[in-house]
Each structure stands twice: as structure tokens, then as C-alpha cells.
Amino acid sequence: MTGCTLSVVTEETPRKRVRDPEAHRAAILDAARRAFAEHGYDRATIRDIAARAGVTHGLVMRHFGSKEQLFIAAVPGPRDLADVLPGDPATLPERVAAAFVERMENADHADPFITLVRSAPSREKAAKLYDEMRRASLDPYLASVTGPDAEERVDLLAAHLIGVTFSRYVVRSEPLATMSPERLTDHLARTLRAILLG
Amino acid sequence: MTGCTLSVVTEETPRKRVRDPEAHRAAILDAARRAFAEHGYDRATIRDIAARAGVTHGLVMRHFGSKEQLFIAAVPGPRDLADVLPGDPATLPERVAAAFVERMENADHADPFITLVRSAPSREKAAKLYDEMRRASLDPYLASVTGPDAEERVDLLAAHLIGVTFSRYVVRSEPLATMSPERLTDHLARTLRAILLG
DNA sequence: GTCGCTAATGACCAAGCGTTCATTACGTGG
DNA sequence: CCACGTAATGAACGCTTGGTCATTAGCGAC
């Protein structure tokens, strides 16, 4: 396992260097996504991200310049919840509920949404990024939701999804954390219906 | 403004000492509440709290032993949302909505609920404390809400309030952040009704 | 092969953190 | 009025962090 020729235990074993910028860059991005999702912006460290990616923290700095730029590069815009908009407006709540649950369940606790909910409360910059993404995700809805208070209702829809994300995926408190996806979808559909159309 | 007798600008001016443990302890607790609510557990610092309280950080340690113990001492259980339970079950959603909005609006962005929403996402310990308080706050509701899925509905109610808190009081995104309390109460009542009784 | 470009390393730095503790000075009981 | 208990101070420490940079080594061009 040592691989290195005849090294004493205490001896320094300078790591073998692999020269592959693109693969390293991709590995760092992936590691950063996971680390930021697990710990939030503040408690995630460049050194931990580098270790996960199998490189040194110096290389992370070389590729991304700063922790903040890495965050911006690693946390992509939320995978869309907007492709569910076309269709009968009367069943929009059900479609949104199903799309949300499916997306989150498949993300293995590393969805950008989770990352932002973890990071925004304590980082002004993350809060700004969160707000941009939220706005971009929600804008398409304004065209599909009618009524004078459409904007408010869409915002309340977002707030509800944030609350569920917080409880189920971030803090993971019971009974929401272990509720079956189907049951969650039902509850969500009912509530979103009241928010949007009630 | 200097107050000190003939001190040169560069000269050290050892602060006058006031001996008042109880007042200092109270001042520290108040400063801690505000600091934790503004920045969350991680980004609040003992030195800043001490400065707000007009003492040195050594004194904070002397009185509370550690940052964690200070947090536990400073963030009291959420002021109750349970005294609203007695009454016609059919109007419970309206009463909860009104109580929640009134409590949050009067807290000047320093409600324990806000502190926990800010701290729990990135601190395991804060998350535990959050869970305890949530459970204590919600338990009384289980007696008032009927049906086989009462526990789930109560949890979803909590999730919705978390989401609204997050958007309106923590990240302060529009339009929720500037919505009038009355309007917010209306929206909340309608949504909580769907969650609890829908 | 070897030369040069640059990817990659790891030692280093300064700042900020929570925490410790020797020292100081306030105020009270004698 | 002095002496003592202790509230309060602030210097110091150890650690972690994000960030810098001189040095090293892989690899393609020639």
C-alpha cells in the first residue's frame, strides 16, 4: 500500500503528482458542492474540500481564487422547477409538489437549495445569491399564477418549500424527516393548493 | 468625551472598573441575545458580545464558562405560542396566525425563533436545541389537533412558520419582508387552515 | 533527450477565534 | 482605615482559517 520505495514510517512521503487540471477542477467542484451542502458556507473549509478532491488547498486557490468564487462556481442555479408550469393551471399545485419532492429525494442531501438554506442565514453574500436564484426560479410562476396578489402567493409558496426543506433535509426533525415521499407529496399538494388558489 | 484626566492619545487608558456582577451578567445576556439573533451562533463572537455589554471578553467567560453555555443561557425557550390553544378548534388557525405575527413583529428581529433558524443549519448543537424547543412548543398542539395524521399536520404547520420566518425575518426577501402584518396574518390563517383542517 | 511551460505542492503568513490565567482594584466587614 | 475576597481586566496561547508564494515536477514540443 505504501507504494513508495522503502520509506520509514516517520519519513515524509511527498505525494505523487498527477497533472490533470480539468479532472482536478471537476473533482474540486464536486467536493465543494458536497462540503457546502453538508456544512454550509461558513463551516466548510477549503482544506477539507481539497482533501475530498484529493488535492492540496493551494490548488483549490489556484483554480478558483477564493472561497467565495468557489462557492459561486460550485453551487449552480437550482435545477429547474419551472418545466412543470405548462399544463392545466388547476393542477399546478400537484405538479409542483411532485416535482419538488422528486428533485429533493434524488439529490442525496446535496441539492443547491439545501446548500443555500444552510448558508444564507449567516452569510450576507450567500443570502444575496439565494435571493437571485429564488427570484430566477419564481419568475416563471408569476406568468402562470393569476390574481392581484399573485406575487405574494408565489412567495408564500417558496416560503413553504423552504420551511419543509429546513425541517426535512437540513435539521431533519421528525416526523417530517422520515415521512414517505408519497405522503409528503400529498400534504404539499394540499397546502400549495391553498396557498396558490385558496 | 475622553473623560480621563489629561491622557495623551497614544496613552493607555485603563478602563474604570465597575463592580456589579448581576448587572453585568444581565447586560451580557442581553447583548448575547442580540448578537446571536443578528449573526447566528457561529459568526457571533464573544468579544463582540462583551463590547456590546460594555465589559471585556474575559468577564463573559468568567460568568458563563463557554460560548456554548452562554448561548444556552441567552436563547430562552420561544415565548409561548400555546396560550392560544384554548377556544373553538375551528378558529385555531386564525388564532395561531395572529399570535405568531404579533410575536414576531414585536421582537425587533431578535426573537429566539430567529436565532435558532439562523444557528441550527450550521451547528449540530444549535440544531439539537432547536429541536427541543420545537418539540416543547408543538406538544400542546397535539392535544388540540385531531385526526390520525395530527402529528404530521402540526409538523407541517411548524415548517410553514419556519419558512415564513426565514424569508421575512432572516433573509428578508421581497415581497414577504415588507408585507403588512395584517396581510401576512390573512395569508397565514388561510394556509394554516389548509394544513391543519384541509 | 532536454527544455520550457505550468500544474501542483507545501511551507508560510496574518487575522480571528475561544479559552486561560496572572494581575489589578473595588468595596465591604472588621 | 486596612485587609481580604473576588469582580474585572487584558495579555497571552493554541488553534484554525483563508490566502500567498517560492519551489518542484510532470509532460508535450522540438
A56 touches strand C (CB under 7 A): yes
C-alpha cell, B84: 392560544
Q: Is the predicted pLDDT of residue B99 greater than 70, yes or no?
A: yes
pLDDT at res. A119: 95
pLDDT at res. A4: 37
Categorize the per-residue pLDDT at A12 as very low, low, confident or very high, splitting at 50, 70 and 90.
low
Average pLDDT over residues B156-162: 96
Considering only CA atoms, name the residue closest to the C1' of nucleotide D16.
A45
Amino acid found at A8: V
Strand C: list positions under 7 Å from protein Cβ. 6-11, 16-22, 25-27
Q: How far is A55 from chain B (nearest CA, A)?
A: 25
Which residue of chain A has the CA closest to B167?
A159
**Chain A partners of B42 at a C-beta cutoff of 8 Å?**
42-43, 122
CA distance B47 to B58: 9
Q: Any chain A CB within 8 A of the CB of B77?
A: no
**Buried b vs exposed e over A14-36: b needs ≥16 C-beta within 10 Å?**
eeeeeeeeeebbebbbebbbbbb
Strand D: list positions under 7 Å from protein Cβ. 6-11, 16-22, 25-27
Categorize the per-residue pLDDT at B12 as very low, low, confident or very high, splitting at 50, 70 and 90.
low
DSSP 8-state code for residue B171:
S
Average pLDDT over residues A125-154: 88
Q: Is the predicted pLDDT of residue A166 greater than 90, yes or no?
A: yes
Average pLDDT over residues A23-29: 97
Categorize the per-residue pLDDT at B124 as very low, low, confident or very high, splitting at 50, 70 and 90.
confident
Q: What is the pLDDT of residues A68-89, one digit of tens each?
A: 999 999 998 666 676 677 778 8
Categorize the per-residue pLDDT at A198 as very low, low, confident or very high, splitting at 50, 70 and 90.
confident
Could you tell me if B28 and B53 are in contact, meaning their C-beta atoms sit under 8 angstroms apart?
A: yes
- Best probe of the B interface among A119, A167, A170, A182, by most B CBs < 10 A, is A167
pLDDT at res. B2: 36
**What DSSP line would sit under B73-87, residue for residue?**
HHSPPPPPS-TT-SS
CB nearest A118 (choices: B122, B152, B168)? B122
CA distance A137 to A160: 15
Q: How far is B12 from chain A (nearest CA, A)?
A: 36
- Interatomic distance A42 CA / D15 C1' (Å): 17
Q: By three-state DSSP, how is residue A1 classified?
A: coil
CA-CA distances (angstroms) from residue B23 to B19, B28, B38, B130, B189?
Answer: 9, 9, 23, 28, 42
pLDDT at res. A120: 94
**What DSSP line would sit under A92-149, residue for residue?**
HHHHHHHHHHHHHHTTTT--HHHHHHHHGGG-HHHHHHHHHHHHHHHHHHHHH--STT
Query: Looking at B3-17, B49-63, B68-82, which range is the least confident one?
Result: B3-17
CA distance A109 to B179: 32
Containing H/E element for A157?
helix A150-165
What size, in residues, is chain A? 198
The ipTM (two decimal places) reads 0.88
Q: Any chain A CB within 8 A of the CB of B186?
A: no
Q: By three-state DSSP, how is residue A15 classified?
A: coil
Average pLDDT over residues B134-145: 86
Task: With CB atoms and an 8 Å threshold, state whether B118 touches A121.
Answer: yes
Could you tell me if B168 and B177 are in contact, meaning their C-beta atoms sit under 8 angstroms apart?
A: yes
> Which nucleotide is closest, CA of B44 to its C1'?
C17
Q: At what angle do helices B21-43 and B67-74 cross, to 10 degrees?
A: 100
Q: How far is CA A19 from the centre of its chain?
A: 30
Q: Is the predicted pLDDT of residue A196 greater than 70, yes or no?
A: yes
- Best probe of the B interface among A171, A172, A184, A192, by most B CBs < 10 A, is A171
- Interatomic distance B19 CA / D3 C1' (Å): 18
Q: How far is A123 from chain B (nearest CA, A)?
A: 8
Residue in the block written with cell 445569491: A129
Look at the alpha carbons of A119, A122, A123, A128 in this order and tell me if their dihedral is positive or negative: positive
Residues 89-108 in A contacting B (C-alpha not used; CB under 8 Å): none
Phi/psi for A148 (5° steps) reads -70, -30
pLDDT at res. B6: 38
**Chain B partners of A167 at a C-beta cutoff of 8 Å?**
155, 158-159, 162
